[in-house]
Amino acid sequence: MSTFWRYVRIQAFVLLCGIVGPIFLVIYFASGGDPMMKWMFWVGLLITAIDVMIALGLTAAGAKSAAHKEKLEQVGVLALAQVTGIHETNTRVNEQPLVKLDLQISGPGIAPFASQDRVLASVSRLPMITNRKLVAVVDPATNEYRIDWERSSLVSGLMPATFTIAEENKTYDLTGQSGPLMEILQILKAHGIGINSMVDLRSNPAAREQVQAVVRRAAAQQAVPSPSPVTSEPGATSASFLAPPAPSTAQRLQELETLRATGAISDDEYTAKRQQIIAEL
C-alpha cells in the first residue's frame, strides 16, 4: 500500500473518531459566520488540525514500520526461535494477554543468541507459542529480528505442509517437521518466493530441485521399519486401549477464556488459573 493511500485511510478513520471538529466547522459556516458561533470555528479548527496531525503521525509511523519490515525481509535470514520460557505480564491489549518470551535464536550465518520479546498471545498465536518453535527473520549484522507468525504457523504444525513430486506421483506430508520445513522456507526465501496456500515451483527449476531434495531426505528419515508382530497364544484375545489425550495448553487457555467470557469464573479466579497453566509449561 502506498504512503498516500495509507494516509487517506488513516485520516478517514481519525476524522471519524474525532468528527466533532468538522461538525463544528460545518455548523459555523452553515450559520453564515454568526459572531455568536465564533467559538465553534476556533474549536472545530483546532480539533480538525489535531486530527490531521495525528493522521500524519500514524501514517509516518506505519510507513516507517513497513519499510523496516521490508528491509529486514531483504537482508535478514530465517532462524529458529526456540521458546525457553513464557512469563505473564498481567497486561492485556484489546482483551489479548501480553506475554514475555525467553528465546534462543539460531540460524545460518548467525551466532546463536538469547533474547526476550513481548508478544500478544492471541488465540491464533497461542498454539505456536506453546509449541515453543517460532520463526524469526534476523539481520545477521545486528541480530535485530522480528517474529514471522505466518512462517511460524507452518513450522509449528498449525498449517499443513504437503509436497507433491509429479515425477514420482507421490505426496509427502512434512507437517510439524520443523527441521526440514525450516530448510524449505530458507530455500524459498533465497529465491524470493513467498508462502501461501499453494506454491508451484515448476517455473523455478533450481528451487524445485532443492526443495525436492529436502522432501526426499525428510521422507527417508521418517520411514521406519514396522515392529515385528507379537504372537499371542492360541485362543487369546488382545486389545489396545489408548487413553484420551490430555488437552493442550492452548486448549486449556482457550477454555479458561471462554469460562471468563461467560461469567462462569471471576477475574481473580481467571488470573490465578492462567498463571497456574503458564507455570506448568
Mean pLDDT throughout 3-28? 66
d(CA 171, CA 196): 18
120 or 37, which is more confident?
120
| Verdict on whether the full-model pTM lies above 0.75 | no
Asked if 191 and 206 touch (Cβ cutoff 8 Å), the reply is yes
The per-residue pLDDT for 243 is 38
Q: What is the CA angle 210-216-219, rounded to 5?
A: 140
Model confidence pLDDT, tens digit, residues 139-198: 999 999 999 999 999 898 888 888 888 888 888 898 888 899 999 999 988 888 877 767
Model confidence pLDDT, tens digit, residues 55-74: 777 777 777 777 777 888 88
- Residues paired with residue 171 on neighbouring β-strands, in sequence order: 164
pLDDT surpassing 50 at residue 234: no
Residue 208 φ/ψ region, left for φ over 0, alpha for ψ in the -120 to 50 degree band, beta for the rest: alpha
Asked if 130 and 281 touch (Cβ cutoff 8 Å), the reply is yes
How does residue 261 score in pLDDT terms, banded at 50, 70 and 90?
Answer: low
d(CA 73, CA 89): 29
Q: What is the 3-state secondary structure (H, E, C) of the chain?
A: CCHHHHHHHHHHHHHHHCCHHHHHHHHHHHCCCCHHHHHHHHHHHHHHHHHHHHHHHHHHHHHHHHHHHHHHHHHCEEEEEEEEEEEEEEEEECCEEEEEEEEEEEECCEEEEEEEEEEECCCCCHHHHHHCEEEEEECCCCCCEEECHHHHHHHCCCCCCEEEECCCCEEEECCCCHHHHHHHHHHHHHCCCCCCCCCCCCCCHHHHHHHHHHHHHHHHHHCCCCCCCCCCCCCCCCCCCCCCCCCCHHHHHHHHHHHHHCCCCCHHHHHHHHHHHHHCC
The fraction of the chain above a pLDDT of 70, given in percent, is 79
Model confidence pLDDT, tens digit, residues 123-152: 888 888 988 999 999 999 999 999 999 999
